[in-house]
Structure 1
Amino acid sequence: MFTYIDIASVDRDLKTVSQPQRLLGADAPSRARKLVESGDVIVSMTRPNLNAVALIDEQYNDCVASTGFDVLKPIEVEPRWIFAAVRSARFVDAMCEKVKGALYPAVKSADIREFEIPLPPLAEQTRIAQKLDELLTQVDTLKARIDAIPALLKRFRQSALAAAVSGRLTEEWRTQHVGWVDEESPATAPTSSSLPVGWSSKTAGDICGFITKGTTPSKEKMSTGHGEIPYIKVYNLTFTGALDFSIDPTFVDSSTHSTDLKRSIVKPGDVLMNIVGPPLGKVSIVPATYPEWNINQAIARFRAGDEISAAYLALCLRTEEVLSHAVSRAKATAGQFNLTLEICRELPLPVPPAEEQTEIVRRVEQLFAFADQLEAKVTSAKSRIDHLTQSILAKAFRGELVPQDPNDEPASVLLERIKAQRATAPKAKRARKDA
């Protein structure tokens, strides 16, 4: 058994060896030909723009690496200094300029070894490496925290929806506008298992008009980029309630729309939900951009009746409770859920009075706008953090990261010692080529 490090074993974000393979020698691939030791720096020669590089630590000493790596073995040089050099944007840019091959873009080992880097005194290299370790660890911590925020915002949005359709979001509003809540009378107050007074529990079939799904015409009856009737596909639906028809817009002619696709005509105000997933929960309200639209077979149309507004209906269809109900009854094939129209009609919906529906929608939109603002700030912060690593590396290679010490052995002396060691080192043997 041996540990094999191939290109896929390198985490390109963290620049570490992650999940190498354990193989039997008899099963070794032909590329498993390079022995690596602690302190070596491995650099992927394929697709250098992805910067798959890593510093070999004690854990992977004497492991076998793929011939797809160039293995750099520092002589009298701090390994972390070499590692920092091959992580720099200047190195990546230089390698990208030397790439050859369209299907399998790669650089040669010589291209990597010809890359010039500044050489400070060895003591200064160590000080810089320690400072880089400290700063880049902080950057990685920031990245991890930033990366966790989208999941928190997703949970926040679901919590807001859950509070909305349970009545918790407007509990205080009801005391001021309806006046039915009496804290001393638990019989009339809402509980976690019951709806507030004045609300009713309905199914989608009870309160919506005819619920139907779309149809997919033959390809020759569809056109992209222009046409008469816009044709909505699942990727035009979003998780925010808005319809995004800018993504690969597709159209059908009016004749096909009114004959072959007559059953799947939708109009402004209709609520659409994807019924094939995962993911389920893509819900959008048809805008008034066109007087009529059409939908494909993976989308169901809900037309709000008198008891429910389209905006409130769209909120209900995005809640975890409704989606869980749908998934529990859906047919699953190879990990894909398919909702029937019967399941759609049976979806349970809590229905408050019309005035409260309006207030719920207003509050949810306000909370979601707040989440959207946070998301935009997170995206901006992530971009700045991504640039921070390169800024720190650039500062290191300009000699600005740590103070210099005039007592350090000059780099010129170090360079002479390196040359002397290289001159006395045994030459690597090359296998004789077949005739």
Structure 2
Amino acid sequence: MLYGRLRPYLNKHDIASFSGVCSTDILVFEASVLVANVLVDKFFNLPFFIEYVVANSKGINLPRVSEETVLNTTFPLPPLLEQQRIVERIEELFAKLDEAKERLQEVANSFAVRKAAILHKAFTGELTQQWRRENGVSDESWEEKKGEDFFEYVTSGSRGWAKYYSDKGSIFVRMGNLNHGTIELDFSDIQYVELPDQVEGQRSKLQKNDILISITADVGMIGLVREDMDAYINQHVALARPKNDLYAEFLAWYFVSDVGLQQMQNKQRGATKIGLGLQDIRSIILKIPTLSEQHEIVRLIDDLLARERAAQQAAEQALASIDLMKKSILARAFRGELGTNKASEASALELLRQVLAEN
């Protein structure tokens, strides 16, 4: 049995399947006729054991635990036959938990895929197909328009604003405040600016329903301005202001979807083109349904994504609980609570007496 004494909080241990030598930072424990190595290996995973060796290690930067400390640990010793049953029961329960963990991880990891599928259906008309039938709206009602037809104003931020940086004042929206896969602005890191009364950047002051688009480097990150605010954008962000007869949230989600994002990425491609121009945004083509259908699409997106987020969060919470369940199983195993004991078997103490008598 091998046990890493350096940084015991890492809990490194294994059953050697080969012969050889090892460094002094690895403790080697020989097998005993009283206990199976595989059971000791399970014992080393007990939270109380890990806490014990960590608390009794020496050193600050490179803490180590001594062989004596490990050997002084209290080890519950069941009969040999029960040891095997304990190990088999632990491995059986762990296998079931690992299978559940794999499935839960798939649910948690597939959120982005399911989200992309919802948005694709939303902007190809599939999501509201039933709604159109129920409301007598023709499938031909979607009109193809260019950005210049549905945006009344497109601009980007001014350069050289670093000299106006401040600890207070107006919010200065940068690319770090935008994200892929969402239309919400991220203000976890805010930069402020204090502007003189007369400055050219006033044209990029934000208004409610403005759509913000990253136009350099990581092109196509989107943010929707949901309320009027004292804020401006830098030169790496474009401001696209929808016309009044269009639903801004619908347009914002369109640019997040693969349908809209692909157009922006295609316009960025080229040997010398390193970003997205304002004219590129004005030339983006979008099929626009009636205003009432735009609202229905956004309602469905919000509802479906809320359900998907709930499923993802539930999966992540269940994943976290699996590790706790494994610790609980180990603790119960070494308390004899897994139903593996048999009263008819000789105790480990009797076996120990027999071994001592023979020697």
Which of 52, 67, 90 aligns to 1:94? It is 52
Deviations 1:10-49 (A, max 9, x none): xxxxxxxxxxxxxxxxxxxxxxxxxxxxxx3444733x44
Residues 391 and 200 (structure 1 numbering): CA distance in 2 closer, same or farther, change over 3 Å? same
Counterpart code for 1:241 = I
Amino acid in structure 2 at the alignment position of 1:45: L
Structure 1 pair 383–306 and aligned structure 2 pair: CA distance change class (3 A): same
CA distance in 2: counterparts of 1:314 and 1:206, whole angstroms: 16
Identity across the alignment (%): 26
Q: 2:190 aligns with which of 249, 265, 283?
A: 249
Distance 1:222 1:168 in 2: 48
Question: Of the candidates 213, 236, 239, which is equivalent to residue 301 of structure 1?
Answer: 239
Residue in structure 2 matched with residue 369 of structure 1 by the alignment:
306
Match status 1:273 vs 2:217: no
1:146-167 per-residue CA deviation (whole Å, 9 max, x = no partner) reads 1110233322211111111011
- Cα 1:264–1:389 change in 2 (3 A) is farther
Higher helix share: 2
- Is 2:338 aligned against 1:401? yes
| RMSD, aligned α-carbons | 3.5
Runs of 4+ in 1 over 6 A off after TM superposition: 63-67, 416-421
Cα distance in 1, alignment partners of residues 235 and 355 from structure 2: 69
Q: Confirm whether residue 127 of structure 1 aligns to residue 85 of structure 2.
A: yes
SS in 2 for 1:408: coil
> CA-to-partner distance for each residue in 1:334-353, whole Å, 9 max, x for gaps?
xxx95322544444422212
Distance change (3 Å), C-alpha of 1:283 and 1:66: farther
- 8 Å contact from structure 1 (residues 326, 339) kept in 2: no
Question: For residues 63 and 205 of structure 1, what CA distance do their matches in structure 2 show?
Answer: 74
Q: Distance in 2 between matches of 1:99 and 1:344?
A: 62
Alignment partners' CA distance in 2, 1:388 and 1:270: 48
State yes or no: 1:232 paired with 2:146. no
In structure 1, the residue corresponding to 2:251 is in which secondary structure?
Answer: helix
Q: Give the SS at the match of 1:350.
A: strand
Q: Distance in 2 between matches of 1:230 and 1:354?
A: 32
Aligned pairs for 1:373-388 (under 5 A) are: 373-388=310-325
Structure 1 range deviating more: 118-127 or 340-349: 340-349
What SS does the aligned partner of 2:326 have?
helix
Q: How big is each residue's C-alpha offset from its partner over 1:56-87, in whole Å with a ceiling of 9 and x where there is no partner?
A: 5x5xx458877665454443322221121121
Q: How does the TM-score come out when normalised to structure 2?
A: 0.82
CA apart distance, 1:400 = 0.6
| Contact 1:121-1:409 within 8 A present in 2 as well | yes
Q: Which residue number corresponds to residue 143 of structure 2?
A: 200
How many angstroms apart in 1 are the aligned matches of 2:5 and 2:234? Answer: 45
Task: Specify which structure has the bigger relative contact order, considering alpha-carbon pairs within 8 angstroms and separated by 6 or more residues.
Answer: 2
SS of 1:367's partner is helix
**Does residue 286 of the first structure (1) align with residue 225 of the second (2)?**
yes
Given candidates 156, 170, 182, the residue that maps to 2:128 is 170
For residues 10-159 of structure 1, the aligned pairs below 5 Å read 40-43=1-4, 45-46=6-7, 48-55=8-15, 61-62=18-19, 69-76=26-33, 77-98=35-56, 104-110=61-67, 111-159=69-117
CA distance in 2, matches of 1:263, 1:98: 65
AA aligned opposite 2:192:
F
Matches of 2:20 and 2:274, distance apart in 1: 47
Aligned residues: 353
User: TM-score scaled to structure 1, two decimals?
Assistant: 0.70
Distance in 2, Cα, partners of 1:68 & 1:353: 71
Q: Structure 1 residues 124 and 271 mapped into 2: Cα distance closer, same or farther (>3 Å)? A: same
Shift of 1:271: 1.8
Q: 5+ residue gaps in structure 1?
A: 1-39, 181-195, 425-435
CA distance in 1, matches of 2:49, 2:255: 50
Shift in alpha-carbon separation, 1:129–1:283, aligned structure 2, 3 A: same
Task: Go from structure 1 to structure 2 and tell me whether the alpha carbon gap of 1:281 and 1:419 turns closer, same or farther (over 3 Å shift).
Answer: farther
Structure 2: gaps spanning 5 or more residues: none
Greater Cα offset, 128-137 or 71-80? 71-80
CA contact (8 A) 2:54 2:65 kept: no
1:218 counterpart residue number? 162
Structure 1 residue 208: Cα displacement: 2.0
Distance in 1 between residues matched to 2:79 and 2:214, nearest whole Å: 63
